[in-house]
């Protein structure tokens, strides 16, 4: 039997003493010239990043659009296979933000968990439980559900008030940590650009883990995230940085610099927890 996603996450938090997630979001135009000439340049880029960071992360998070939009699904598959070979203890969250109904949702779940073998996938809750259930039914996999995101326009919908006065994102948090969490494998997305709201989410969801985007290029508040988001065990957070790590250098030392930035973020986080 496979290790459940949440157990794998708890294990790697302790093993690597890290809450850092590296977003593997390659853009061919931004990649260094030294990796562009091979047959699978995106995989070559990712492999070097993984080699340089795998002892200092708790997760990898490839954004599926960066592969599909560049006709690089083969590179994504090669990347996931390499992680399973190089550092099988590190979970992978496939960032796909799926959320549809019926057979479509079942196929999206099959894509994430059976085709790509991801440990978890990001999901959009807008269509409700019947859109999420095909993912939630994979008891050993993780469902990482959008709650209060880091983008500027999030408040247009996520902070709308319900009849009982509760902001919509809090209602979503209650569902994610409550009736939707029947396999105990859910996470929420709570952005680093809204640490006060993240703190409100933590009060609602208890020890349910949070995936926190927005650190780095988006200018998220790391100190606020840790102040409001840590669990009593001083874990409970998966703090993602993508561009700030993988594009730390555009030269032949790109992987070395990515490793340095990962360790720098890890040290900054650990100094605050």
pLDDT tens digits, one per residue of 244-264: 999 999 999 999 999 999 999
How does the average pLDDT of the chain come out, rounded?
A: 95
Backbone angles phi, psi at 237, to 5 degrees: -125, 140
Q: How far is residue 118 from each of residues 4, 23, 87, 145, measured CA to CA in Å?
A: 12, 14, 14, 15
| DSSP assignment letter at 54 | G
Q: Is the pLDDT of residue 219 over 80?
A: no
pLDDT tens digits, one per residue of 145-167: 999 998 889 889 999 999 999 99
Backbone region of residue 235 per phi and psi (left: phi > 0; alpha: psi in -120 to 50; beta: other values): beta
CB atoms within 10 A of CB 83: 24
| DSSP assignment letter at 4 | P
Active-site choice (97, 106, 257, 264): 97
Q: Decide which of 215 and 17 is more confident.
A: 17
pLDDT tens digits, one per residue of 5-64: 999 999 999 999 999 999 999 999 999 999 999 899 999 999 999 999 999 999 999 999
C-alpha–C-alpha distance, residues 229 and 137, integer Å: 27
97 is catalytic: yes
CA-closest candidate to residue 267, choices 53, 51, 20, 12: 20
* Residue 161: both structure tokens together: 């008030």
Q: Which residues pair with 92 in a beta bridge?
A: 60
Task: Average the pLDDT over each of 67-81, 115-129, 218-232 and give the range with the smallest value.
Answer: 218-232
Q: What's the confidence (pLDDT) of residue 21? A: 98
Mean local confidence (pLDDT), 191-214: 92
C-alpha–C-alpha distance, residues 45 and 139, integer Å: 32
Q: How far is residue 198 from each of residues 57, 202, 205, 213, 260, measured CA to CA in Å?
A: 22, 6, 10, 11, 28
**Cβ contact 123:146 at 8 Å:** yes
Where residue 218 falls among pLDDT bands split at 50, 70, 90?
A: low
């Amino acid at each position: 039997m496979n290790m459940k996603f949440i157990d794998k996450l708890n294990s790697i938090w302790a093993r690597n003493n890290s809450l850092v997630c590296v977003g593997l979001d390659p853009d061919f135009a931004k990649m260094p010239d030294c990796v562009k000439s091979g047959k699978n340049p995106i995989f070559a880029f990712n492999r070097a990043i993984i080699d340089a960071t795998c002892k200092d992360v708790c997760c990898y998070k490839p954004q599926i659009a960066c592969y599909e939009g560049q006709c690089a699904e083969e590179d994504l598959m090669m990347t996931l296979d390499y992680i399973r070979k190089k550092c099988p203890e590190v979970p992978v969250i496939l960032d796909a933000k799926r959320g549809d109904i019926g057979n479509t949702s079942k196929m999206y779940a099959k894509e994430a968990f059976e085709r790509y073998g991801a440990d978890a996938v990001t999901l959009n809750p807008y269509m409700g439980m019947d859109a999420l259930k095909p993912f939630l039914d994979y008891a050993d996999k993780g469902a990482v559900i959008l709650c209060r995101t880091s983008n500027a326009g999030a408040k247009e919908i996520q902070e709308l008030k319900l009849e009982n006065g509760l902001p919509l994102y809090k209602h979503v948090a209650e569902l994610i940590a409550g009736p939707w969490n029947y396999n105990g494998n859910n996470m929420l997305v709570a952005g680093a650009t809204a640490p006060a709201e993240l703190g409100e989410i933590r009060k609602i969801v208890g020890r349910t883990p949070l995936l926190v985007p927005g650190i780095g290029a988006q200018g998220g508040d790391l100190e606020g995230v840790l102040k409001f988001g840590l669990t009593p065990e001083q874990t409970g957070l998966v703090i993602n940085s993508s561009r700030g790590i993988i594009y730390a250098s555009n030269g032949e030392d790109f992987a070395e610099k990515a490793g340095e930035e990962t360790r720098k973020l890890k040290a900054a986080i650990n100094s605050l927890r």
